[in-house]
Structure 1
Amino acid sequence: MSENVPAPGLLARARLLAAPTVDAFVVGELGRITGRPVEQGFSGAAPQEPFICVGAALPDALRGGNLVWFHSVNAGTDALLAAGPWPPGALLTRTVGRMGERIAQYVLAWVLADCQSVPEFAAQHARAEWRRIPSELAAGQTAVIYGTGRIGSAVAILLRACGIRTVGVGRGAVRTDAAPAGFDRVVAADDDARPLAGARWVVSTLPLTPATDGFFGTDRFAGMGGAAFINVGRGATVDMRALEAALHSGAVGRAVLDVLPEEPAAPGGRCWQLPRTVITSHSAGITADEDIVTDFTACWEAMARGRVPETAVDVGRGY
């Protein structure tokens, strides 16, 4: 991936394009950071000169030009990569900003709501029913978190601060003596059966790649033993029919889904009928304009020093 980092001299002369949807505040900051005018709008043929783009999508016309760097205003880049072959040699970076913090608080809110029976009390209130429901403590219980990157680690750090044991599930071989921040330990995806069986909560922060498409299926849900499932990653990592069956059987105790395979969910969609499930509108980690500016700045400064930005995407792996 390092060979895709543009040389400082190339960055210095590249034109800067921003999508029409990029906010005026962000456009102004991009010009300030780079010291050049920002051409807002993707239209017509690609520039003959080297160019940089900032936006959510990359039009086909620009994929064949002299693109040296595309900075995505979103954290997920699966749609960008699925739209067509990525331009050879072009760097792709993404916006994470404070998304990990936001998503971690979202997950903690639902974990505590689960402990305090908030959905059940809300249902009782709607029925004007007075009945005590025992609560439980989060401390000492186990959360299995799929994805050990910046977002997964942020979730783990916040949950562990509440006394929750955190097991991360990472890709490939795992060094047990070097768990990422927030995790008590990390296992490989092929070795997740035992942690799943002891989990109170299962949290997915997985990106969508060919390897994670439908990752949560019948076998994985069957191994959860009644745990609550929280998905803040990508909707298509879940086989929804398998989740529905697991909710009906009790293999999954409840589900909180911030993402779905098809969004937005139609009013008559099958997902609204899932038992013990709450669906939120892909809002756990909404990107703020300040996040875009902060991460673009970090990328710009890293490349000025000849370094790979922390938010660079390995286009072969998809994240």
Structure 2
Amino acid sequence: MRVLQYRAEFDATVTFRAGGGLHAQRFRLDVPHADPTESELSALFVAACRLHDVDAVAVADVRVFAEPHLGTHPADPRTRWVELSHVISAGLVTYPGLPAPEITPHLTREASRDVYAPGTEFAIDRLTMVGNTGTYLDSPFHRYGDGSDLAGLPLERLADLPAVVVRTAGSGVRGVGVDALENLTVAGHAVLLHTGGDVHWATPEYAVDAPFLTAAGAQWLADHGAALVGIDSVNIDDITPDAAGTRPAHTLLLAAGIPVVEHLTGLENLPPAGARFTAAPPRVAGFGTFPVRAYASVPAIEPHDHLRSGGWLPTSGG
């Protein structure tokens, strides 16, 4: 089976803060889904061209089309699969103050023998838990009553996203800020914050002075078109008393329609770039947060650079 990817073709006009600008005609680049917004295209364009000091980008004559993926196929035997989720088990607390999951039998194997033909038996179990259990994804509905719920999230925001890993583990830095992000290409990517916070998983220390994403960092990621943001810590926001209950990273990212994945693990097993990330929850209506099986595929060979540009018509400066 051939895997499809989406490309966009468009004209772009750029103006710079210092004066001058440039114009591109029939510029082509990869996009993460079939219906990119103008802001997503602008962010992808700026990142692809490594432009700086940009004042504004206007795009026109946008055409999105699908074509076979040029990189390593997910089923390629050379692909390495990396598990990025914690195991959920009965009684294991994910977030301090929230109840642990309860797993109880609904139909035991022994009881099922009276229901099915001889030699046939099944187990049906009941799982009682809050949505914030294990490694889970926050949809905009988690923060905003009128935001997209789990059922409303498009797969293009959850599956097979190009990933970029931001490493602060071992640095002693708690707040991941713009300085850790500004040299990275994040437009259309799953941005995974490798803070090392997961080393304290399932211990009281997990929630003590845990790493987090700063408000400025969250705003930068929203402004630069990140598709999803994940962290291997207890919360993407600072939960210490000093934060006084504010949640700027959730507020900014979810307002921009960017899903958040918390309680990741194993990010040290991913390269800085080149992996593909997936974290898809079930389609539950009227629900904001749910556990995911988060994982990544890493090709054994470096993926192709899919960027293809059309003609440039510089106007001046920049």
State TM-score, norm by structure 1: 0.24
Structure holding more strand per residue: 2
| Greater relative contact order (Cα < 8 A, sep 6+) | 2
State TM-score, norm by structure 2: 0.24
